[in-house]
Amino acid sequence: MARDVIERYFAAFNAGDSEGMLACLSADVEHHVNEGQIRVGKVKFGEFLAHMDHCYAENLTDMVIFVNEDGTRGAAEFTVNGTYKASDAGLPEARGQTYRLPAGSFFSLRDGHITRVVTYYNLADWVRQVS
């Protein structure tokens, strides 16, 4: 079940299906943002997705998913293939630059839903690629 929900989450991401991603999350999901604050709840996660969709177009490839035996924890390693569409506050100006980054996500799961999402990537590498 853990692998299935993580696979659905990433399939929805690649399809640009925010509602599909949100359906994989618990109501009290904790989103640990790379280089940022922890956001709690689906509403905050949905706001994050809308912002990301405005600024970036991304597709994830080379996906490898790992889960523990009891299905309470999971992880994924992947490559982010993106286009920087609109300038994001505090970051370089967007001019349609493309980028390719290795990244990873970690998950906690309960009752068939994701309760924690942590995603890591090298921000300095991204800034170098789009500058």
Which tens digit of pLDDT belongs to each residue from 98-123? 999 999 999 999 999 999 999 999 99
What pLDDT, on the 0 to 100 scale, is given for residue 32? 92
Residues in the chain: 131
pTM of the model: 0.93
CA distance linking residue 107 with residue 94, whole number of Å: 30
What pLDDT, on the 0 to 100 scale, is given for residue 66? 97
What pLDDT, on the 0 to 100 scale, is given for residue 34? 79
Which tens digit of pLDDT belongs to each residue from 77-100? 999 999 999 999 999 999 999 999
3-state secondary structure of 55: helix
What pLDDT, on the 0 to 100 scale, is given for residue 35? 74
- How many CB atoms lie under 10 A from the CB of residue 61? 10
Q: What CATH code is assigned to 2-130?
A: 3.10.450.50
Q: Which letter does DSSP use for residue 89 in this model?
A: T
For range 66-71, the mean pLDDT: 95
Which tens digit of pLDDT belongs to each residue from 1-23? 899 999 999 999 999 999 999 99
In this predicted structure, the answer to whether residue 37 has a pLDDT above a threshold of 90 is no
Look at strands 113-121 and 25-32 and give their pairing: parallel
